[in-house]
Copies of this chain bind each other. A is one copy, B any other.
């Protein structure tokens, strides 16, 4: 009945009482997105913040010469472009968001969310928490990429993806993402050839296998040993 159903599926909003959810639903706008669609480009004016309702969005930064690094992949219930919130007017998005699996996203304009948050300290705190968790992840990734070799960075990436997208069964943890070797390499700056070779190393050690196009992790502990 209420049009707040999709808001209920976004964990960060669970701190809100339903009256506030109703209010929120008036400033949040859902729209369809299709695979390949660019939701925003790095350096576009930062207009607002997004939430994934369904589908997946890849957040990435690139260099002028065309190389690209994937920062994260956002799925249902997750927020992105959070850096835009409360930013100075005239700021730009620090990364590009591309839909990699069709679905729906919700969007709230910066100024409207800011006004709303002013009276919802609970929600503001939740968002603060989310932001600080992301800073923590980013700094950890930086450490991994700078200090371990590519094998370590790959291991760290697989561990992180397993935590976020892993489905566990008796065989191990399947990473439910269609990722090419090039996609994987873009998380830590390696070429597809290197990723092929590194993955084969891990396959030889029976740490991972490939099943129906998905990576299957047999031994998460061993994988973690590459990072510590």
Listed in ascending order, the chain A residues whose CB lies under 8 Å from chain B are: 61-64, 67-69, 71, 82-83, 85-88, 94-95, 114, 117-118, 121, 124-125, 127-129, 131-132, 134-136, 138-143, 145-148, 188-189, 227-228
Interface centre among A71, A132, A140, A141 (most CB of B within 10 A): A132
Q: Do A143 and B228 contact each other (CB < 8 Å), given the known contacts A128-B124, A131-B135, A135-B131?
A: no
CB distance from A106 to the nearest CB of B (A): 20
Q: Do A63 and B138 contact each other (CB < 8 Å), given the known contacts A69-B143, A131-B132, A132-B82?
A: no
Selected contact of A135 from candidates B62, B63, B83, CB within 8 Å: B83
Selected contact of A138 from candidates B85, B124, B142, B147, CB within 8 Å: B142
Complex formed: what's the CA distance from A122 to B1 in Å?
Answer: 36
Complex formed: what's the CA distance from A138 to B138 in Å?
Answer: 6
